[in-house]
Structure 1
């Protein structure tokens, strides 16, 4: 029998959180032997590499959350990292616009949350909003966030990969997690022992955690995010334009994203998916996952837990280009004929609490002396990645 290679830390998953935890470990404990395992041929193949690229500013989240704690500082640190590495950032800002009195009240709640969280936000008049974004429509006021920005996620991920390899972190690609025996991680490319194992497996983080006896109260409900490119005139929208979200759910609604290169896209959807990597009709179809997730979604549909039935009907309507575009045009009436193709879809690794049938709103970390499991690392995880990873390493004894 082959003796497993031994490392101080074995990280499962090379998305933004796995890479950032490896970075934090190497920065604060350079003597550690670190291995990052990734089932895909390269870093960030799923949620991290397929997200919108928006650097959030920290005003959506309640003050008691990890999201609120790390978004403002994460925004600052990510911008600083990009500046150091020569990675472009579009510091275009963001407007959140209201459509009616009820949404105006929610807009004021976002302003209050932002102030509590240390985010630079400001309520502005409709006239001030139009000075920033001439085509925008809002009801009386808008919320202005000057610190919201955009970047290319792949540029950050590739830079982190380069940094880690040059610092001595070992990375193995096309190496899928298969299970564990004690502190030995069993993979498709052999076995590796970790004195401490860190689960950053994204869409499969719940399954890996359950192998270690954690996360039993949670299950993954995947949601598919589609974006549509606007190709007519990149000057038609100057900045990120968002609607007021339903604060009962963690989705931010169809919005305009101003990319780092100045191009424009609308999205995302939050369409319930039927397996974890359900990007297209048959891609990576797994019958067991399909059955498990379809049964869970049928339960949510029947009970309308957290408004799932209403959400599902609304999201399915967004498969209609006309309807999808119409939602965005309520905020800025761009040319409806100016849209091109859909971008690569992404899947949100959203946790459901099985005991309450509610979506989990915050990041979740479970651990013991031998392993740490990062669950529900959904938006704004990319923005939070650096300070959040430092926190995980310090608080959970990884250094």
Structure 2
């Protein structure tokens, strides 16, 4: 059995960027990535919107604020370096009425504190950015928001890692660990240090190591609806003023990397971790555990979960879903929307002590393992500086020792 300096569980964007960061710092270290699927980015990393966020949604003392700004710059530079598709289309945040102007003010304040470019646009001038966008009195424009192809980025990271000597083992599912060994469905892997970047399963793996005991993953299903009539009715990303009390940004218009238009996503509470469609990925154990927590949230109405759940379930009705986007534009053809796109599942961490959703990144570990417990949106944007942060924490836990 080959022993590795680092074994990483999970070949999503976080696992891929951590492997890349390790090899940048320690070119001679041995790294392998274990992935239960047949290729990289099979779940959230390959199913997300592809939007590179700018970093103005998050409070100044958060990891998200720091890493979103840096990650946006790093990911745009990476795409340009390797000739990957990049749509630097920007973003408008619009208000529907006077009650939302205070929300715009707060976003502008956060942007200023975080050092992120965010520009006031008067209602009369909004047409210069997107003739179809509609707002009340004023809006905010983010020129650094962009779109990428998430699968293209992850495939490039895979090939870059392989060229640096990182070994990939696909169809290899974590079972347990014992005495410096990871036991999988495809054999046993000895390691000096383990990194858990398993996304939807990060909490259960962390629990095996004695970490993350106050947390559990609550999955939320995100679905987008494609506008098939044309690619021209919307020119830029158009977002509503979000409810900053929860981590969801609301239904919005997204311009994809090829210029296509879609609206979404939903944030529908899912009943098991891979609850994409029908009974796909059904697990009775997961179902009982997750529904149990969702029932608690519904009864206690923590973070207004009851209203959120009922509102989100209504989005399965296509006409209602489309209507949510109508207020942000002057005109859109409701018959121009085609099919629902491939759903994604957001691995959202819940603090089981407070029954509150955890909004920032969370990692826990020691001198033998590190566990990425919460890496939700905008984790794709943040991935490169976040990976550097994770490796920094690993070095601290190991006393700065290299392999």
TM-score by length of 1: 0.98
How far apart, in 2, do the equivalents of 1:250 and 1:182 lie?
38
Contact kept? 1:15, 1:47, Cα under 8 Å: yes
Matches within 5 A, 1:1-399: 4-332=1-329, 333-397=331-395
Per-residue CA shift, 1:72-107, capped at 9, x if unaligned? 110011011111111010000000001122211011
How far apart, in 1, do the equivalents of 2:121 and 2:131 lie?
14
How far apart, in 1, do the equivalents of 2:79 and 2:132 lie?
31
Per-residue CA shift, 1:291-321, capped at 9, x if unaligned? 1111110111111111000000100110111
Structure 1, unaligned runs of 5 or more: none
Per-residue CA shift, 1:92-147, capped at 9, x if unaligned? 00000011222110111001111111111112111221221111111111010000
Per-residue CA shift, 1:131-180, capped at 9, x if unaligned? 21111111111010000000100000000001111111011000000111
- Name the SS of the counterpart of 1:11 in structure 2: strand
Q: 1:396 deviation in Å?
A: 2.2
- Name the SS of the counterpart of 2:78 in structure 1: helix
- Name the SS of the counterpart of 2:289 in structure 1: helix
How far apart, in 1, do the equivalents of 2:258 and 2:337 lie?
17
Contact kept? 1:5, 1:191, Cα under 8 Å: no
Contact kept? 1:206, 1:220, Cα under 8 Å: yes
TM-score by length of 2: 0.97
- Name the SS of the counterpart of 2:38 in structure 1: coil
Per-residue CA shift, 1:259-316, capped at 9, x if unaligned? 0101000000000000000000210100110011111101111111110000001001
Per-residue CA shift, 1:355-376, capped at 9, x if unaligned? 0010000010101010001111
How far apart, in 2, do the equivalents of 1:205 and 1:149 lie?
29
- Name the SS of the counterpart of 1:236 in structure 2: coil
How far apart, in 2, do the equivalents of 1:396 and 1:60 lie?
28
Q: 1:5 deviation in Å?
A: 2.6
How far apart, in 2, do the equivalents of 1:365 and 1:114 lie?
25
How far apart, in 2, do the equivalents of 1:303 and 1:376 lie?
23
Structure 2, unaligned runs of 5 or more: none
